[in-house]
Structure 1
Amino acid sequence: MRSISKQQQIQHLFWRAGFGATPAVVQRESQRSIKKVVRDLIHSDQSFAPLTVVDTSQLVDRKDLQNMVRTGLIDRTMLKQRLKENTEHIRDLNVLWVERMGSSQDVLREKMALFWHGHFACRVLNPVAVQQYLNTIRKHALGTFGDLLMAVSKEPAMLQFLNNQQNRKNAPNENFAREVMELFTLGRTDSGADGSANNYTEADVKDAARAFTGWGFNAQGEFMFRKNQHDDGLKTIFGQSGTFAGEDVIRLLLERKQTARFITTKLYRFLVDEQAANATARARIDTLADRFYNKGYDIADLLESILTADWFYEPAVVGNRIKSPVDLLAGMEHALGLQFEQKQSLIFIQRTLGQVLLYPPNVAGWPGGRNWIDSSSLLFRMKLPDLLLQAGQVTIRPKEDGDVNTELLSKRGKGSMQASADWKAFEDAFASVSTDKLPDELASYLLQQPLGAAQRAAVVKRIKPDSSRSEQIRLLTATIMALPEYQLC
């Protein structure tokens, strides 16, 4: 079986466990063992730092503002201004997070937070609630799944998004309980002959909804158990009976091995192979899921098991995933030290490519995989290096998603969408490479698959004989980044 070089292994690791790495980092880490590199990624010396753009004491959502209009506390002009400010705060949080992903700080935490954002998809228009939710998934991203599940389930943003604020005794709302089972823990399965799912029944959902009655939040954005709205009657969930509350439902879900298998499968698809359909992949997932369950849902331990496995570095696994729009954007930022002249450009790119952070399309998150690519998005992806590095003209419109909020977020003026790169740091990594070998060295760093002969010829044609070394590197870099193969990681 063909093996890959140590440099390719390191690049593969940093793409899957982060957003790529600078040439200097790749060169440095290639001298160390994979196990040591993985452990450093998991146990980063960076202490957790919340992302903050808005005062957490200002939890006022759209309904609160509309009530203030009705009671005369503010007029409609003030309402419009406050809603605009809310949208701008969420935009700023989005940009701050993308910039953090594009830095070298605690990249595995940010990559896993991106995974959990898709898993615990949540979309509300209150910037304080969004900020709290984002920092919760970032804080627990490498901890235990049990702590993460409990913390996210008690976030005001999630309780609002899944209507549990309206879940009351004598009028239960099943939305939150259903999604906790179907999307967060046990997974969707085909219905049986009796109309029930294999992993849970409709009766389980109904009684779990009763258990979650009373879970809500107050005006300060704090989780609150409203005892007078809680149904404290007998409930039966997964064959067990008791006067269960919400915390008991979470415990019962974690006791089921299907939860460990569902999370492991989803993470395997995120890190290794989106198909994961053959017998070999299923056997690997079974082994990983058993360990995950027996280790108390330790996320870091599961990651270490995957990222240090020999099969993780097999050629068939390398370069087999389409970069998500955020992977692509953060990866370019990371590789070249990009600084955007207009922060709005970051939102414009996300919306044009179909992934606006903090605005998932629905409770199931982004479908990913081949869904990232269509004719218009692929064209924009391949033009992006020229737009950013050569100040090219933007002629493509963002995708229509029917959402006025993302439309406002991504509005920008006509003309160029330029970013400045830290070219000196990038060029220094290739200082000792001869001119004739420069295309291959740059390609071996920028692409996860070897550069084909026809592609190499097309790339080399772009070199101007009378250009400076610096100009050659910049032009070759932009050219290679514009290849379809750059869309894979």
Structure 2
Amino acid sequence: MDRRAFLRKPASALTAPAAVLAAPAQQTDPPGETVSPYANKTLPVLPRTNAGLTAYTGTWGKAQAAHLLRRCLFGPTRAQITAATSSTLSQVLTSLLTAPAAPAPPVNVSATDTSVPIGQTWVSQVFDQNFEGVRRSSLRAWWLGQLLADNTLQAKMWLFWHNHFVVELADINDARYGYHYAELLRGQALGNVKQLCKDVTVAPAMLRYLNGNQSTATAPNENYGRELLELFTVGKGPLIGAGNYTNYTEADVQAAAKALTGWRDNATTIAGYYTASRHDTTVKQFSGAFQNQAIPNGGDQEYKTLVDMIFGQAETARYLVRKLYRWFVYYVIDATTEQNIIQPLATQLQQNGFNIGPVLRTLLASEHFFDAVNVGCYIKSPLDFSLGLLRQLEVAQPTSANVAQQYSVWDYFNGLTNLQQQYLGDPPNVAGWAAYWQTPQFNELWINAVTLPRRTQVSDALLTSTGVTRSGFLLIVDPVAWVQSLPAATAQDPNLLIQAFVDVLMPFALTTTQLAYLNDTLLPGLPDFEWTDEWNQYLAAPTNTAKKNAVATKLRALLKVMLSQAEYQLS
């Protein structure tokens, strides 16, 4: 498998006539995007690997630990990789699956919001449109800050559920609702998905986003009922007749909408609430896709009965497991993977009552997960790229001692990931970011003529000698400090030093030619001993600016090249 191919045009394209290269985008392109003519046109059908869910018992070393952590964290640090290497796979998974304590809520950092002092939370204040903009920015900044700081699997699953049970903060227009939603997803990120689905159904943010708060007995709104079936639980399946999508029918959407009537959102309590007079009290009849089940009037408990019925379908577990697989392993699910991975994991999910943790442990501890074809095989999302860059190169962050500065830095990175086409809190639509569902391109969509240069701009800016200043705080990569944290023998040997960077930054080993090129980048036309000599000169006089700049300049040049390589875009 050539994992670098996504940054190269195929040979056929290089010789194709101009008319072919200029062909208009297909109708399946997401709104506002044009899929590259060099992108995948079809998915492979041959088995990528026959490895199954048998517990992995192979080599456990730096490479395996780094692979696991890259998929489970937003960029593991060298120290985290080292610590994981000295533990067992089981111990590392236990740590990853142990959720941290709940963080304090977001705080006000703007003089515009006069409802609370700077540094105090606004989440229970009365809604005020004049303050909504700065509160929403505070929420986004806080959310990114938690993802950056969390060293467990919870952070990745928090984002997973945001991409799954989608709401858009700009659409709901109440940051307090947004915080309630974000906390709901965070608190249950590693918990029970059936319970989470029930809670999301009557969450004020979702009631407002998909118009459940407008649904009455006389005018049932189908928006949430449709997305509950199509996107959140059982999925469509192949169209087999007019209004029949295999896993549900249009009549099922209508019946679900009736079962969900009567719910509204309360802007004072920031909660969903039930009004009996607005609820459809008839018996809701479902199709053969649901074994012709009927749901009688259940008042304010009826939505739970509906969710229980949907989760009683075997396809719901399979649909959820496929999404988890694409999030943590790879986007191609061939027939062999469906049989060896998806089906048994779906059975496990059903048998343990839809608790996600055990399923994740089985998948992440499997031979399949550690198979070579699943290492470094998918493109990082903008959040993976940007937060990983900060974490892996250990860019210093402001502390809560200056919350305005801290939130300003987090807000800055939200802006950068937005430019890379992933804006935390606002997926493009209810289906989530297209890179997680649009076939056959999937995560290829993260890389295009706009986003790739923007990624490079982020890393290049942090690698300059002046860095980026935000609200008086300097964001800068300090490569000298990073190298000083290495063992002395590694730091003074240019080849060992380069390998130390590769171990952290790259998802798999580089070729001999690539390593030689990086050596020449560090020491253009110079023998290896020149680095050893300069490094030791710096160590002998660390306050000497000229000697420090001599090694820092070389290290920045090296890192600039490494971070622009195709391999760094992969996880």
**TM-score (norm. length: structure 2):** 0.73
Report if aligned partners of 1:24, 1:429 keep a CA contact under 8 Å in 2. no
Decide whether the 8 Å contact of 1:253 with 1:259 is kept in 2.
yes
| Residue 129 in structure 1 maps to residue 177 in structure 2 | yes
Residue in structure 1 matched with residue 142 of structure 2 by the alignment: 96
CA deviation digits over 1:425-455, x for unaligned, max 9?
A: 5640354312232112211221012222343
Cα deviation, residue 419, structure 1: 1.5
Cα 1:345–1:12 shift into 2, 3 Å: same
Corresponding residue for 2:285?
A: 236
Match of 1:16 among 51, 71, 74: 71
C-alpha contact 2:522 2:555 (8 A) present in aligned 1: no
CA shift for structure 1 position 132: 0.7
Secondary structure in structure 1 of the residue aligned to 2:285: strand
Write the deviation string for residues 344-395 of structure 1: whole angstroms up to 9, x where unpaired.
Answer: 421221121000000110000101211111012112223321112216899x
Matches within 5 A, 1:294-309: 294-309=351-366
SS at match of 1:316: helix
1:332 pairs with 2:399:
no
CA radius of gyration, larger in:
2
- Note the 1:374-413 alignment, pairs <5 A: 374-390=448-464
Instruction: Judge which range, 447-456 or 339-348, deviates more.
Output: 339-348
Amino acid at match of 1:119: H
Whether contact under 8 Å (1:23, 1:429) holds in the other structure is no
- Change in CA separation of 1:246 and 1:422 when aligned onto 2, cut-off 3 Å: farther
**Structure 1 counterpart of 2:370, from 287, 307, 313:** 313
Which residue of structure 2 aligns with residue 482 of structure 1?
564
Which residue matches 1:452? 511
- Displacement of 1:254: 1.4
Distance 1:479 1:286 in 2: 43
Q: Name whichever of 319-328 and 105-114 sits farther off.
A: 105-114
- How far is 1:11 from its partner? 0.8
Is the deviation greater in 347-356 or in 376-385? 376-385
Tell me: CA distance 1:426–1:373, structure 2 relative to 1, closer, same or farther (3 Å).
Answer: same
Q: In 2 relative to 1, CA 51–187 (structure 1 residues): closer, same or farther, beyond 3 Å?
A: farther
Q: CA RMSD in A?
A: 2.6
1:69 match:
none
Aligned residues: 447
The answer for the alignment partner of 2:330 in structure 1 is 273
- Unaligned 5+ residue runs, structure 1? 66-78, 395-411
1:185 is matched with 233
Structure 1 equivalent of residue 201 of structure 2: 153
- Of 234-243 and 118-127, more deviation after overlay is shown by 234-243
Pick from 41, 55, 80 the counterpart of residue 96 of structure 2.
Answer: 41
Which of the numbers 133, 137, 140 marks the counterpart of 1:87?
133
State the TM-score, normalizing by the size of structure 1. 0.85
Quickly say closer, same or farther: Cα 1:164–1:439, change in 2 above 3 A.
Answer: same
Shift of 1:159: 0.8
- For residues 432 and 393 of structure 1, the distance between their equivalents in structure 2, rounded to whole angstroms, comes to 29
Instruction: Name 2:433's counterpart in structure 1.
Output: 366
In structure 2, distance between residues paired with 1:159 and 1:391: 49
Indicate yes or no: 2:309 matched with 1:223: no
Query: Residues 382 and 483 of structure 1 are in contact (CA less than 8 Å); yes or no, is this contact kept in structure 2?
Result: no
In structure 1, distance between residues paired with 2:259 and 2:483: 56
Distance 1:384 1:460, change over 3 A: farther
Q: Distance in 2 between matches of 1:170 and 1:426?
A: 68
Secondary structure of the corresponding residue to residue 273 of structure 2: strand
C-alpha distance in structure 2 between counterparts of 1:94 and 1:219, whole Å: 20
Q: Percent identity?
A: 29
Q: How far does residue 116 in structure 1 lie from its aligned partner after superposition?
A: 0.6
Q: Give the Cα separation in 2 of the matches to 1:473 and 1:24.
A: 20
Unaligned runs of 5+ in 2: 1-48, 52-57, 108-120, 399-404, 436-442, 524-529, 539-550
Shift of 1:27: 1.1
| SS class of match (2:450) | helix
Residue of structure 1 equivalent to 2:62 = 7
Alpha-carbon separation, structure 2, partners of 1:95 and 1:461: 40
Q: Report the secondary structure of 2:142's partner residue.
A: helix
Distance 1:391 1:91, change over 3 A: farther
Shift of residue 422 of structure 1? 6.2
